[in-house]
Structure 1
Amino acid sequence: MKEEHTIAFYNLENFFDTQDDPKKNDNDYLPNGSNHWTENRYVSKLEHITAAIASIQDNKLPIAIGVAEIENATVLKDLIYQPVFKGEYGYVHFDSPDRRGIDVALLYHQKVVEILASEKIPVRLNGNSHFATRDILYVKTKIENDIIHFFVNHWPSRGEGILASNPKRIAAANCLHQKAKAILSEDVDAKIVIMGDFNDLPISKSISKHLHAKSHKNIGTYEFYNLATIPYNKKLGSLFAKKHWLMFDQIIISKGMLNGEGIKITSPRLTIHGDKNLLYFDHQAGIYKPNRTYSYHTYHGGTSDHLPVYVALDKN
């Protein structure tokens, strides 16, 4: 690579448009809804998100950006039409059955990243036909001469309690690992990048046991290396909740991204983008926290309750 490229993931915290969609639970995010989600507030959030992405890397944008908590294609179009994207970005997105009406997507630089295939991977929970959550997004790309497989995730939350919700995240991990294993069965050196808001920690069973994402680089054929391990061990996090920093937003890679020729990732860790414009000082807690857009229907005007995470791509 002639110049350093980065890839990133960012949970955009309930990025809804202002139009009513009868098929989605978007009533809170309407002008007359409980959040009073007006066009001015929507445009403000759009501008904040754009500025946050633009601040990740000096003078250029990440070539691939996984995003979570987007309502639909409308907000993605409004985002990539912002001047900073220079008309050079596209997106991959599928509607999923999430009860909150939010999805994941992949933004990509069309002159650098070629989309070869894409599909949504439903998350099935055995014995619960009423359970619906975000699909996992799979995108097969070509970057220069390398095939790179991206998975964008937003696993079920801990809202009902960690133990009660744990089977749902394990189900997501199993679905993801099954697809990734199929790719590796055809090519043990396949280059796979798994990113997302997993609503679990690097040491959680869903990630460490079921996804087989390890804290070390000495990984087997169907295992992965978790770039969030080092920040997590340093007690860093991508969001702040219940008086703790939580490392929910992670980037995980296959052995093919660590070794061999062509594009790879040599950094042992991801970077949490704690730009000052994404934070506010909580005087009661005495620390800086992500400046979110809403909390309990109170408008704060911030960008997101999560911080972006990113990593640089290298090439031999």
Structure 2
Amino acid sequence: MEIFAFYNVENLFLPDSNAGHKSEKTKSGLFNWDFRKYQYKLNKIAHAFRLIGEQHQQLPFMIGLAEISGDHVLKDLIQTEPLQGKYGILHYKSLDERNVDVALLYDHSKIEILESEPITFFFEESGLDEKYYDTTRDILFAKVKFEGEIINVFVLHLPSKREKDVNKPKRSYILQELKNRIEKIQENADEKVIVCGDFNENPDDEVLEILSDKTFQKNALENPFADLFFNKKYSTFHYKSGLLFDQILLSGNFYHQEDQLQFEMAEVFNHPQLTLKSRNLSGRPFRTFAGTRYLGGYSDHFPVLVKLKN
């Protein structure tokens, strides 16, 4: 059995020179973000993976991450227990305006990286005086080998919902481009595909049908998180609404009995230690910040994972 996990870790930034000034935002956009709080957050994230390991008797063989800022925080993260000495890093710096990227950690005793690249998107926008190009977070692509099988992994964090969801066309465009890439990959029927990330869409939203709709010929991706959402399993919340923006989609050959790696189950990992204990907000992720107020938790998202039989 192997575990593939994804975790939006909520603004994992290095502290900077303004840390310690409670009334000022640092360059990360966080208030009073100092080294002590940074180290505490690293340990919290590592502890989330420790809990996954304890519950499932092993750590993930690959971990997609969102809302990390730069290589340094990833190098610090993989030095924490229980990750220490086990994981390699794939990360590319994107042009995101918030300075947050996606990344892939991989168990280097099991995974061989064959190739990788960032997939960058530019969107033409109109300003007051002239047109300009808006950028968003890159998609990270990695072609890896696991025990002779080829897996194509895409890690994404799609543009957020804001201003009456002005970014919905961008999410649709990005997923259409991703679909085109997957169709080319699946000309080789033996290769598998995993798409993981924070989609800023629930599994039943029409934008996700670009990847999972059966009109996507035989190459439609399966979304095991659709059933979880139907059963009110949520990875994050917005006001009173439960959301399942964090998902892992799989190519159909993960469901072939003759294949080496087979889908077994999907899970929103809402372990009690990762949840708030507040009377009104019980069951929600124990986050690091609520607005400008520091709470000292893990993240405003729960990790999600799939178990694969081998």
Unaligned runs of 5+ in 1: 22-26
**Conserved in 2, the CA contact under 8 Å of 1:140 and 1:148?**
yes
Residues 298 and 113 (structure 1), Cα distance of their counterparts in 2 relative to 1, 3 Å cut: same
> CA deviation digits over 1:65-111, x for unaligned, max 9?
00000001000000111131231210100000100000000000000
Tell me which of 286, 297, 300 is aligned to 1:302.
Answer: 297
Q: Secondary structure at the match of 1:9?
A: strand
State the match for 1:97 in structure 2: 95
Tell me which of 253, 258, 266 is aligned to 2:255.
Answer: 258
State the match for 2:186 in structure 1: 184
Residues 74 and 204 (structure 1), Cα distance of their counterparts in 2 relative to 1, 3 Å cut: same
State the match for 2:34 in structure 1: 38
- Is the aligned partner of 1:213 residue 2:209? no
Whole-angstrom distance in 2 between the partners of 1:34 and 1:254: 38
- Is the aligned partner of 1:241 residue 2:238? yes
- Is the aligned partner of 1:120 residue 2:122? no
Q: Secondary structure at the match of 1:13?
A: strand
**Conserved in 1, the CA contact under 8 Å of 2:288 and 2:295?**
yes
Please report the TM-score for the alignment, with normalisation by the length of structure 1.
Answer: 0.88
Whole-angstrom distance in 2 between the partners of 1:100 and 1:79: 20
Tell me which of 16, 19, 29 is aligned to 1:19.
Answer: 16
> CA deviation digits over 1:138-165, x for unaligned, max 9?
0000001100110001000002223x22
**Conserved in 2, the CA contact under 8 Å of 1:184 and 1:221?**
no
**Conserved in 1, the CA contact under 8 Å of 2:268 and 2:302?**
yes
Residues 20 and 258 (structure 1), Cα distance of their counterparts in 2 relative to 1, 3 Å cut: farther
What RMSD in Å do the two structures reach over aligned CA positions? Answer: 2.2
Whole-angstrom distance in 2 between the partners of 1:219 and 1:118: 25
Identity %: 34
**Conserved in 1, the CA contact under 8 Å of 2:253 and 2:259?**
no
How many positions carry a matched residue from both structures?
298
Amino acid corresponding to residue 305 of structure 1 in structure 2:
D
**Conserved in 2, the CA contact under 8 Å of 1:197 and 1:248?**
yes
Q: Secondary structure at the match of 2:202?
A: coil
State the match for 1:153 in structure 2: 156
State the match for 1:204 in structure 2: 205
State the match for 1:24 in structure 2: none
Amino acid corresponding to residue 116 of structure 1 in structure 2:
L
Whole-angstrom distance in 1 between the partners of 2:123 and 2:249: 23
Whole-angstrom distance in 1 between the partners of 2:82 and 2:193: 28
Whole-angstrom distance in 2 between the partners of 1:5 and 1:227: 16
Please report the TM-score for the alignment, with normalisation by the length of structure 2.
Answer: 0.90
Whole-angstrom distance in 1 between the partners of 2:174 and 2:59: 30
> CA deviation digits over 1:32-65, x for unaligned, max 9?
x751001000000000000001111324310100
Residues 254 and 45 (structure 1), Cα distance of their counterparts in 2 relative to 1, 3 Å cut: same
**Conserved in 2, the CA contact under 8 Å of 1:270 and 1:311?**
yes
Structure 1 residue 271 displacement after superposition: 0.2
Structure 1 residue 30 displacement after superposition: 5.4
Structure 1 residue 127 displacement after superposition: 6.1
Residues 284 and 85 (structure 1), Cα distance of their counterparts in 2 relative to 1, 3 Å cut: closer
**Conserved in 1, the CA contact under 8 Å of 2:6 and 2:65?**
yes
Amino acid corresponding to residue 194 of structure 1 in structure 2:
V
Question: Is 168-177 or 119-128 further displaced after alignment?
Answer: 119-128
State the match for 2:129 in structure 1: none
**Conserved in 2, the CA contact under 8 Å of 1:292 and 1:304?**
yes
Residues 61 and 313 (structure 1), Cα distance of their counterparts in 2 relative to 1, 3 Å cut: same
Whole-angstrom distance in 2 between the partners of 1:156 and 1:35: 23
Tell me which of 108, 111, 119 is aligned to 1:110.
Answer: 108
Residues 179 and 189 (structure 1), Cα distance of their counterparts in 2 relative to 1, 3 Å cut: same
Unaligned runs of 5+ in 2: 19-23, 127-131
**Conserved in 2, the CA contact under 8 Å of 1:123 and 1:175?**
no
